[in-house]
Amino acid sequence: MNAKFVCKGDVVFSIDQEHMQSIEQGFVVCEDGICMGAYDELPAEYAQYPVVDCGKNLIFPGMTDLHVHAPQYTFRGLGMDCELLEWLQTYTFPEENKYRDMDYAREAYSYFAEDLKRGFTTRAVIFATIHNEATVELMDQLEETGLITYVGRVNMDRNGGSGLQEESAGSSLLGTRRWLEAVQGRYRNTMPILTPRFIPTCSDELMLGLGALAKEKSLRIQSHLSENPAEIAWVRELVPAADCYANAYELFGHMGSEELPTIMAHCVYSDAREMEILKAHGVYVAHCPDSNLNICSGIAPVRKLLDAGIHVGLGTDVAGGSSLNMVRTMLTTLQVSKMYHTLLERDCAPLTFEETFYLATMGGGQYFGKVGSFRKGYEFDAVVADDSLMKSTRHLTPRERAERMIYNDADCMIRKKFVAGRQVL
């Protein structure tokens, strides 16, 4: 693919949290992986660039899935009849234990990687399992897709049950170091991220060791925070010195910084005190509404997180969430925010379509740098989608068609996808 080109079609993207730009038969310019802007008329300086004519297809920025469990893809949509802690013990840990078997891992991860590549996602931050070999296999396969990802080999040295538990803090840390050595310099698009599953499965010694390792090697961290009431009560017992769950991570050195931001999935029950900690460290909250519905976790206060100036993106959280489809996650994001407003707090306004589109593209994309918009200087991540099967007597703008797609994406087909200027589909 030429390093300089122009995509022509019906363009729609976020400019910021509240505003979108919509250009019918517009031009998006890419130079060496970077977007040089979106235009209704092609500036003369780009007139010589080859044009990728996308016809009447929609062209919008790729989406970032900030939180997804690759090994859980095998049981998506199955076993959704209990809450978090029972769900982990009954379905999740026994499944993840299978990834000690490389034949199983290779096949299962090939289905995950293939489907992630086919979807709306251009960037993702992914949990693997405690197994080094299978995690490297997943990273090898993801590298092949052309998507840009962070992948974490999971740490857990307590409360794993079903054999899914490392022997000790020391062996978990040693395994992590060996995994880091194995993947160092191996990839262009696939980065390692430290991944303590959550406090109930990681001893104090392991947590402290991982916090020190993150500092030593300038690594990012991802984990889960304040997802479920029983989980939160358990953490209160496990770390009595902490004044809240977020503070427990903070005490172990896991909350990161603006330069090396931590991702915390869920934050359904984060109150003002937790938000203060999230804000102070520049944490990214991965809002995972499908998962929060499926395993009866609750509704995260996304409006309040945004008002507090906290970074927020969206996550599918497969298999708590049952689909890798980020457009579906956008719909659930809108719908649960309406229920938060209706049932929990009338004063808390629902998210708008613009805000939701922003969360899926720029909100999560920011974790990767200038990603998730067609503003000049952003990396060129784009999805070209054909919605021509959704016929209407109305003439719709690209922005309206994007809104309609969020509410009903079944008849929307992805035709092309670009990641940092490289065509992957």
Binding site for ligand GUN (CB under 6 A): 69, 84, 88, 92, 197-198, 224, 227, 291, 317, 320
Task: Decide if 165 contacts 157 (C-beta within 8 A).
Answer: yes
Residues binding Fe ion: number (CB under 5 A)? 2
In this complex, which beta carbon is closest to ligand GUN, that of residue 84 or of residue 359? 84
User: How many angstroms separate the Cα of 297 from the Cα of each of 83, 155, 230, 267, 312?
Assistant: 7, 23, 10, 10, 18
**Dihedral over alpha carbons 314, 317, 323, 329 (to 10 degrees):** -20
Minimum distance of ligand GUN from residue 291's CB (angstroms): 5
The CA-based angle 168-173-177, given to 5 degrees, is 150
Task: Find tokens 């200087």 and name the residue.
Answer: 377
Residue 231 binds Fe ion, judged by CB under 5 A: no
Binding at 198: pick from Fe ion, ligand GUN, none (beta carbon under 5-8 Å per type): ligand GUN
Minimum distance of ligand GUN from residue 197's CB (angstroms): 5
Minimum distance of Fe ion from residue 76's CB (angstroms): 13
215 vs 196: CA distance, rounded Å? 15
In this complex, which beta carbon is closest to ligand GUN, that of residue 88 or of residue 248? 88
Q: Which of residues 282-341 bind Fe ion (CB under 5 A)?
A: 317
Instruction: Give 362's DSSP letter.
Output: I
Task: Find tokens 């990161």 and name the residue.
Answer: 256
Minimum distance of ligand GUN from residue 179's CB (angstroms): 19
Residue 96 binds Fe ion, judged by CB under 5 A: no
Q: Which of residues 264-283 bind Fe ion (CB under 5 A)?
A: 265
In this complex, which beta carbon is closest to ligand GUN, that of residue 128 or of residue 371? 128
Half-sphere exposure (Cβ direction) of 362: Cα atoms closer than 13 Å? 18
Residue 95 binds Fe ion, judged by CB under 5 A: no
250 vs 248: CA distance, rounded Å? 5
Binding at 88: pick from Fe ion, ligand GUN, none (beta carbon under 5-8 Å per type): ligand GUN
Residue ranges that bind Fe ion, judged by CB under 5 A: 265, 317
